[in-house]
C-alpha cells in the first residue's frame, strides 16, 4: 500500500516498560496528535528481542521484529524512538539512524551523557536532530528549556533532585524514621527501586543526568567522569534526626555551578535548609532549579519516572520531529535553533569546594575530648559553628558529637576528619555531609 504523503513513519526500538507505555500512548492518543499536527503518525516497526513482551501490549504483532536490520535499513522510516536503555547497542543504532538522515527521539541518559555532543553534531551534519527530553526528569520539561527557552541566559547554576528512587527512600527515612534497608525494601516492594538498584543508590543515574544538564547549560562538555559522586547508602536514621533538629532536609543533590576557577559538578547527599523549595520536593518527584543572568531563578518540578510521564516527553519530541520531517518533505527548511558546545571550560577539583559541613562522630565521654577535637579542626583552619553532644552508650561511656562548621575548604575538612579519626578518643566517624544553601 502506498504511504500517504502526510504520513510520518515511526520505528520504536524496545518494548519494555517505557516502550510499551509509548506504544499504548500512540494507540490511545494518536488521533488527537494527528489532528494537532495535521499529519498521520504511523507506527511501522517495533524492535524487540524478547518477542513475548509484545503479547501484553495491544500492538499489531506483525510490526514486531528482533532483527535490527529490518528496522534500520527501511528507508521509509522517518523517526526512530530509541528506548532500549544502556550504552550498547543503543548508541550504534542511534548513530546509524542519524547518519541515514532519520530524526531520533531517545530517553537514554547513559548514551546522551557519554556521547551526546558527538550525536548532536552528527544530527546537525545530516540535517536532522536528536531529541532527548525524556532522558532527564522523565516528562518534567528541563531539556527543552535549556536548549531553547533559557538560551538567551548565561546559566550560572543548577541544583537538582533528579533521581526518584533515592528521593523516595530519603523521604521515607526522614518522615518515618526508617533505616536505609527498610526504606529500600519499601521502595522495591512498590516498584520504585529495581532488583539491582546500584545505579540509583550510588548516584550513577544522577551523574548521567547532571552531565547532560551541565553540558547543555554551560555549553561545554561535562563528562560523567568529571562529576564527583557519592551515593546514599551511608546515611543513617540518626542523620535524619539531627538534620530535623538543626532545620534541614537531607536530599541527594545534583549540583552544577559555573565558577571562576571552573565548573563545579557533583552528586552527593546534602543538608538543604527546610525553607528552600528543594527541601520539600518529596517522594518520587524530581525538581531542577536553574539560575540564569536574565531570568534569575526558575524551578521545574514534576514526576521523574514512569511510563506515562516518560511517554509525555517522548511523544512531544516525536511531534516536534514529525513537524520537521513534514516540512523537509514539502521542501521547506525551517531550521532549528542549534545547540553547540562552543567552549572548553576547566573542571573545578572537588578538593577546592568551599561550603559548610555536618559531621557526626562517636567519641569517648571524658574530660578534654572536645578540646582535642576542636584543636584538630583549628589546626586545619576549619571553624566550628556549633556542637551538639548526645549521650549514647553509658556502659561504654561514649557520646555522639554533631559538629556544624562555618564555610570551609573540602580538602581541609577531609584532612581534619582523617586526623580526628586517628585520635584515641574518637571511636568512629559516623558521617560527613555537605550543607547546600
Ligand atoms: N531510575 C530513575 C529514577 C528513573 O529513580 O529517577 C529513570 O531515570
Q: What residue has cell string 559553628?
A: 385
* DSSP per-residue codes, 113-154: HHHHHHHHHHHHHTT--EE-GGGTTTTS--HHIIIIITTTS-
Q: Looking at residue 216, what is its pLDDT?
A: 97
Burial label for 161, CB within 10 Å (0-12, 13-18, 19+), is buried
Sign of the C-alpha dihedral computed for residues 170, 172, 177 and 178 taken in this order = negative
Distance between Cα 304 and ligand 1 center (Å): 7
d(CA 17, ligand 1 centre) in Å: 13
Calpha distance 50→428 (Å, rounded): 50
Ligand 1 pocket mutation pick from 304, 309, 314 by most atoms within 8 angstroms of CB: 304
Q: Which residue's CA is the nearest one to ligand 1's atom 2? A: 163
Residue 1: predicted pLDDT: 47
Domain ranges of the chain: 4-138+306-329, 143-303, 350-435
- Range 143-303: architecture per CATH: 2-Layer Sandwich (3.30)
Q: What is the CA(400)–ligand 1 centre distance, in A?
A: 35
User: Is 209 designated active site?
Assistant: yes
User: What's the pLDDT tens digit per position in 88-130?
Assistant: 999 999 999 999 999 999 999 999 999 999 999 999 999 999 9
Residue 206 alpha carbon, nearest atom of ligand 1:
6
Give Dmax (Cα) for the chain: 90
Task: Give the burial string for 252-261 (b: 16+ CB within 10 Å, else e).
Answer: bbbbbbbeee
Domain 4-138+306-329 annotated CATH 3.40.50.720? yes
Distance from C-alpha of 246 to C-alpha of 256, rounded to nearest angstrom? 25
- Summarised one tens digit per residue, pLDDT across range 203-219 is 999 999 999 999 999 99
Q: pLDDT class for 52, splitting at 50, 70, 90?
A: confident
pLDDT per residue as tens digits for the range 354-409? 999 999 999 999 999 999 999 999 999 999 999 999 877 777 788 999 999 999 99
Kindly state if the Cβ of 309 falls inside 6 Å of ligand 1: no
Q: Which of 109, 209, 251, 348 is catalytic?
A: 209
CA–CA dist 399, 250 (Å, integer): 23
Give the separation between CA 195 and CA 184, rounded to whole angstroms.
10
Q: What is the pLDDT of residue 3?
A: 59
Q: Is 165 in the pocket of ligand 1 (CB under 6 A)?
A: yes
Do residues 253 and 436 make contact, with C-beta atoms less than 8 angstroms apart?
Answer: yes
Q: Domain 350-435 is classified in which CATH homologous superfamily?
A: ACT domain (3.30.70.260)
Question: 94 CA to middle of ligand 1, Å?
Answer: 21
> How many Cβ atoms sit within 10 Å of the Cβ of residue 166?
31
Cα distances (Å, whole numbers) of residue 273 to 48, 276, 278, 319: 46, 6, 9, 40
What distance in Å separates the CA atoms of residue 392 and residue 387, rounded to the nearest whole number?
A: 15
Amino acid at each position: 500500500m502506498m504511504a500517504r504523503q502526510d504520513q510520518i513513519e515511526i520505528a520504536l526500538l524496545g518494548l519494555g516498560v517505557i516502550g510499551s507505555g509509548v506504544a499504548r500512548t500512540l494507540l490511545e492518543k494518536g488521533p488527537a496528535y494527528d489532528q494537532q499536527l495535521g499529519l498521520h503518525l504511523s507506527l511501522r516497526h517495533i524492535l524487540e528481542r524478547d518477542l513475548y513482551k509484545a503479547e501484553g501490549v495491544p500492538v499489531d504483532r506483525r510490526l514486531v521484529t528482533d532483527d535490527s536490520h529490518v528496522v534500520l535499513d527501511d528507508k521509509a522510516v522517518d523517526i526512530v524512538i530509541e528506548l532500549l536503555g544502556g550504552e550498547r547497542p543503543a548508541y550504534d543504532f542511534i548513530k546509524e539512524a542519524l547518519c541515514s538522515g532519520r530524526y531520533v527521539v531517545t530517553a537514554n541518559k547513559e548514551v546522551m551523557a557519554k556521547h551526546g555532543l558527538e550525536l548532536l553534531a552528527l544530527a546537525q551534519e545530516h540535517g536532522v536532530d536528536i531529541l532527548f527530553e525524556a532522558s532527564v526528569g522523565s516528562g518534567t520539561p528541563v531539556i527543552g528549556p535549556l536548549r531553547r527557552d533559557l538560551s538567551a541566559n548565561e546559566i550560572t547554576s543548577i541544583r537538582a533532585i533528579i533521581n526518584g528512587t533515592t528521593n523516595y527512600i530519603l523521604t521515607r527515612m526522614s518522615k518515618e524514621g526508617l533505616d536505609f534497608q527498610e526504606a529500600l525494601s519499601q521502595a522495591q516492594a512498590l516498584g520504585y527501586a529495581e532488583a539491582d538498584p546500584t545505579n540509583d543508590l550510588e548516584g550513577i543515574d544522577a551523574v548521567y543526568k547532571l552531565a547532560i544538564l551541565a553540558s547543555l547549560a554551560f555549553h561545554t562538555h561535562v563528562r560523567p567522569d568529571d562529576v564527583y559522586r557519592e551515593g546514599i547508602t551511608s546515611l543513617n536514621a540518626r542523620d535524619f534526626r539531627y538534620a530535623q533538629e538543626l532545620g534541614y532536609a537531607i536530599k541527594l543533590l545534583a549540583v552544577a555551578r559555573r565558577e571562576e576557577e571552573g565548573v563545579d559538578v557533583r552528586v552527593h547527599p546534602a543538608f538543604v535548609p527546610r525553607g528552600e523549595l528543594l527541601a520539600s520536593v518529596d517522594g518520587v518527584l524530581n525538581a531542577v532549579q536553574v539560575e540564569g543572568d536574565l531570568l534569575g531563578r526558575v524551578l521545574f518540578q514534576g514526576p521523574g519516572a514512569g511510563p506515562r510521564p516518560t511517554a509525555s516527553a517522548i511523544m512531544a519530541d516525536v511531534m516536534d520531529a514529525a513537524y520537521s520531517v513534514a516540512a523537509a518533505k514539502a521542501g521547506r527548511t525551517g531550521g532549528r535553533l542549534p545547540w553547540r558546545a562552543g567552549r572548553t571550560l576547566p573542571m573545578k577539583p572537588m578538593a577546592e569546594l568551599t561550603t559548610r559541613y555536618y559531621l557526626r562522630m562517636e567519641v569517648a565521654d571524658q574530660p578534654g575530648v572536645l578540646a582535642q577535637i576542636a584543636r584538630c579542626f583549628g589546626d586545619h583552619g576549619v571553624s566550628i559553628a556549633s556542637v551538639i553532644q548526645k549521650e549514647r552508650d553509658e556502659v561504654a561511656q561514649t557520646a555522639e558529637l554533631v559538629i556544624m562548621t562555618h564555610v570551609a575548604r573540602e580538602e581541609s575538612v577531609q584532612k581534619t576528619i582523617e586526623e580526628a579519626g586517628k585520635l584515641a578518643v574518637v571511636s568512629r566517624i559516623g558521617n560527613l555531609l555537605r550543607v547546600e544553601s
